[in-house]
C-alpha cells in the first residue's frame, strides 16, 4: 500500500481557509496513511495535507485525496476482514496512520446491520430486503464517533492541543469523549435549546461546553469567526478546519454496510441530512469500493431524509433547483436542524445522479416512525432515525423505493438522547398497587 507523506502546509494568508495552528506536530512530515493531499471539489486544485478546508482559488470545499492500495482485491478484502471489529479495519482506506488502532481513541464502528423483516412487512417491503444500519451503539450513541475519530488523528498530526466543534448536539458529546480519552482539552459549542440528553452527554466528559444563544447556524458562524481570531489559535475544530478529515469517517458506514451484506452494494440507501456531509461521504465510500474491486459495480440509489421543519435540501430537490436556500429550522429533529447545509448542493447532485430523491417528514411522522421502529425491531432511535424510517415509509408508498430491492435505512442515534419525542406516548400502561387483585383489575392478564 502506498503511504505517501507530504510536507505540511502553512496557509497563513487566508483567514477563511486556514487554521492558525502549527501545520504538523513535530514540524516533520504529516503521516495520515494513504491520504496524499487535499483536492478541491470544485476546481480540482490540490494542496498538501494541512488544517485547511476551503480552496484558496475558488473557495470550494477541500476533500482528502488518496493513493489507495492498488492490486489484488482479494488480498485487501482478507486484510480488512482480519482487522479489528471497529472502523480501523478500514484504516488502509482512511486518512489515518497505519498504527491508528493502537492509539487512544474510542474505536467506534462495526455496528449491527439488522435485517428488519417485521418493519419490512409494515412498510410493504419484501422480507429479507430491508436492513437498518443501527449506529446507536457507538461509544457516545451516535454516528458522530466515526467522524470524530478521523478528526482526532488529523489533530494529532497537525499539533493541535484543543478540540472544538459547532454541534447540533451529538457531535459535542463525541468530541468531549474522544478528547478525554486521547488527552486533548475540549471546548465545544451548541445551541442553547438542545435536548437535555444531548447537553448532559456533551458536559459529562469534563471539557468545556458553551451554549450559544442562537440556532446551529449562529453557532457555526461564531465558530468560523473564532477560527480566524487569535482566540482560536491551536484549536482543531473537527467540523470546520479539520472538516476534510472528519468527513471521511462517514465512508466507514458505506464500507460496513457492503461488507455486512457480503461485499455487495445495497440497491437503495436512506440517509439523514444535516450538513449533508455524511450522505456525500457514503457515496464516496461506495464509489471507492467499486473502484478497488471490493464490490461488483452496479447502480445504487441514495435517498436523503430531512424533517419538514428543516428541509432546505428536499425543498430544492423537489423544486428542481441546484441552489439550496437557507431556512430557519423548527423541528424536533434537532440533530438534523441545519438551515444552511454546507454540502447541500452536493447532496442534490448525488440524489439526482444515482436516481434517488430527497424527501421530508413532519414531526408527527417522525414520532410515529420512532415508535414503529421500536415496536417492530426493538430499536429505539433518536429523532434522526425517525426521520429516515419515516422517509423510507413515504418513499415506499410513493413508489420511489422499489420494495423488491435491498434497502438500507440508517439509524444514526440513540433514542435515549431524545426522550421527549416519545415520552408522552410511552408511559406506564397501568399504575397499580403491588397486589394480584389490582393487576387482575387492570385487565392486562392475558
Ligand X SMILES: *Cc1c(COP(=O)(O)O)cnc(C)c1O
CB of 55 to Zn ion, least distance (A): 3
All three cell numbers of 93, joined, read: 482506506
Q: Which is nearer to ligand X, 129 or 144 (CB)?
A: 144
Binding partner of 430, given Zn ion, ligand X, none, CB within 5-8 angstroms per partner class? none
CB of 60 to Zn ion, least distance (A): 4
Binding partner of 329, given Zn ion, ligand X, none, CB within 5-8 angstroms per partner class? none
- Give a three-class secondary structure readout of 370-426: HHHHHHHHCCCECHHHHHHHHHHHHHHHCCCCCCCCCEEEEECEEHHHHCHHHHCCC
CB of 274 to ligand X, least distance (A): 3
Contact partners, residue 423, CB within 8 Å, separation at least 6: none
All three cell numbers of 155, joined, read: 489533530
Binding partner of 45, given ligand X, Zn ion, none, CB within 5-8 angstroms per partner class? Zn ion
Q: Which is nearer to Zn ion, 43 or 200 (CB)?
A: 43
**Residues interacting with Zn ion, by CB under 5 A?**
40, 42-43, 45, 55, 57-58, 60
All three cell numbers of 85, joined, read: 471489529
Q: Which is nearer to ligand X, 31 or 343 (CB)?
A: 343
Residues 194/166, Cβ–Cβ less than 8 Å? no
Dihedral sign of CA atoms 425, 430, 434, 440 in order: negative
CB of 347 to ligand X, least distance (A): 8
CB of 61 to Zn ion, least distance (A): 9
Q: Which is nearer to Zn ion, 58 or 75 (CB)?
A: 58
Contact partners, residue 390, CB within 8 Å, separation at least 6: 305, 361, 365, 366, 368, 369
**Residues interacting with ligand X, by CB under 6 A?**
142-144, 170, 272-278, 335-336, 382, 384, 412-413
Binding partner of 384, given ligand X, Zn ion, none, CB within 5-8 angstroms per partner class? ligand X
Binding partner of 144, given Zn ion, ligand X, none, CB within 5-8 angstroms per partner class? ligand X
Binding partner of 142, given Zn ion, ligand X, none, CB within 5-8 angstroms per partner class? ligand X
Identify which of 301, 243, 325 has the alpha carbon closest to the alpha carbon of residue 41.
243
Helix, strand, coil fractions of the chain, as percent rounded to 5: 40, 15, 45
CB crowding 306-322: b at 16 or more within 10 Å, else e:
bbbbbbbbbbbbeeeee
CA distance 102 to 98: 9
Q: Which is nearer to ligand X, 9 or 346 (CB)?
A: 346
Contact partners, residue 2, CB within 8 Å, separation at least 6: 34, 36, 67, 68, 69, 70
Q: Which is nearer to ligand X, 55 or 336 (CB)?
A: 336
Q: Which is nearer to Zn ion, 55 or 180 (CB)?
A: 55
Give the long-range contacts of residues 427-431, CB within 8 A, separation 24 or more: none
Binding partner of 55, given ligand X, Zn ion, none, CB within 5-8 angstroms per partner class? Zn ion
All three cell numbers of 227, joined, read: 477560527
Binding partner of 57, given Zn ion, ligand X, none, CB within 5-8 angstroms per partner class? Zn ion
CB of 59 to Zn ion, least distance (A): 7
CA distance 422 to 98: 43
Q: Which is nearer to Zn ion, 36 or 268 (CB)?
A: 36
How far is residue 401 from each of residues 97, 128, 130, 359, 377, measured CA to CA in Å? 39, 15, 11, 12, 20
Amino acid at each position: 500500500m502506498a503511504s505517501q507523506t507530504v510536507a505540511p502546509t502553512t496557509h497563513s494568508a487566508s483567514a477563511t481557509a486556514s487554521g492558525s495552528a502549527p501545520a504538523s506536530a513535530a514540524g516533520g512530515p504529516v503521516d495520515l496513511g494513504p491520504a496524499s493531499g487535499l483536492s478541491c471539489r470544485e476546481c480540482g486544485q490540490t494542496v498538501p495535507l494541512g488544517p485547511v478546508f476551503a480552496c484558496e482559488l475558488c473557495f470550494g470545499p477541500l476533500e482528502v485525496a488518496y493513493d489507495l492500495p492498488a492490486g489484488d482485491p482479494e488480498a485487501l478484502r482478507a486484510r480488512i476482514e482480519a482487522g479489528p471489529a471497529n472502523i480501523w479495519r478500514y484504516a488502509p482506506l482512511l486518512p489515518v496512520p497505519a498504527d491508528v488502532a493502537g492509539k487512544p481513541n474510542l474505536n467506534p464502528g462495526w455496528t449491527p446491520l439488522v435485517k428488519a423483516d417485521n418493519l419490512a412487512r409494515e412498510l410493504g417491503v419484501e422480507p429479507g430486503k430491508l436492513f437498518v444500519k443501527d449506529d446507536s451503539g457507538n461509544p457516545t450513541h451516535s454516528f458522530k464517533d466515526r467522524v470524530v475519530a478521523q478528526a482526532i488523528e488529523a489533530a494529532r498530526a497537525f499539533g493541535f492541543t484543543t478540540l472544538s466543534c459547532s454541534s447540533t448536539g451529538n457531535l459535542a458529546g463525541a468530541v468531549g469523549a474522544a478528547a478525554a480519552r486521547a488527552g486533548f482539552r475540549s471546548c465545544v459549542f451548541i445551541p442553547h435549546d438542545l435536548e437535555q440528553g444531548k447537553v448532559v452527554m456533551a458536559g459529562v466528559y469534563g471539557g468545556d461546553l458553551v451554549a450559544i444563544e442562537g440556532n446551529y447556524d449562529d453557532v457555526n458562524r461564531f465558530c468560523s469567526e473564532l477560527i480566524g481570531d487569535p482566540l482560536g489559535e491551536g484549536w482543531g475544530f473537527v467540523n470546520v478546519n479539520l472538516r476534510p478529515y472528519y468527513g471521511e469517517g462517514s465512508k466507514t458506514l458505506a464500507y460496513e454496510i457492503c461488507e455486512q451484506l457480503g461485499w455487495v452494494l445495497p440497491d437503495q440507501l436512506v440517509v439523514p441530512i444535516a450538513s449533508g456531509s455524511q450522505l456525500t461521504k457514503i457515496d464516496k465510500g461506495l464509489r471507492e469500493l467499486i473502484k478497488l474491486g471490493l464490490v461488483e459495480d452496479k447502480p445504487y440509489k441514495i435517498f436523503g431524509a430531512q424533517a419538514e421543519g428543516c428541509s432546505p435540501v428536499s425543498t430544492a430537490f423537489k423544486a428542481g433547483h441546484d441552489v439550496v436556500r437557507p431556512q430557519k429550522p423548527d423541528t424536533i429533529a434537532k440533530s438534523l436542524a441545519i438551515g444552511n447545509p454546507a454540502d447541500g448542493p452536493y447532496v442534490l447532485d448525488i440524489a439526482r445522479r444515482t436516481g434517488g430523491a430527497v424527501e421530508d417528514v413532519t414531526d408527527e411522522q417522525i414520532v410515529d416512525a420512532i415508535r414503529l421502529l421500536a415496536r417492530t425491531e426493538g430499536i429505539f432511535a433518536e429523532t434522526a432515525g425517525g426521520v429516515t424510517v419515516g422517509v423510507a415509509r413515504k418513499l415506499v408508498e410513493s413508489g420511489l423505493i422499489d420494495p423488491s430491492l435491498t434497502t438500507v435505512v440508517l439509524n444514526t442515534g440513540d433514542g435515549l438522547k431524545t426522550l421527549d419525542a416519545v415520552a408522552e406516548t410511552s408511559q406506564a400502561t397501568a399504575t397499580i398497587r403491588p397486589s394480584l387483585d389490582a393487576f387482575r383489575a387492570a385487565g392486562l392478564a392475558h
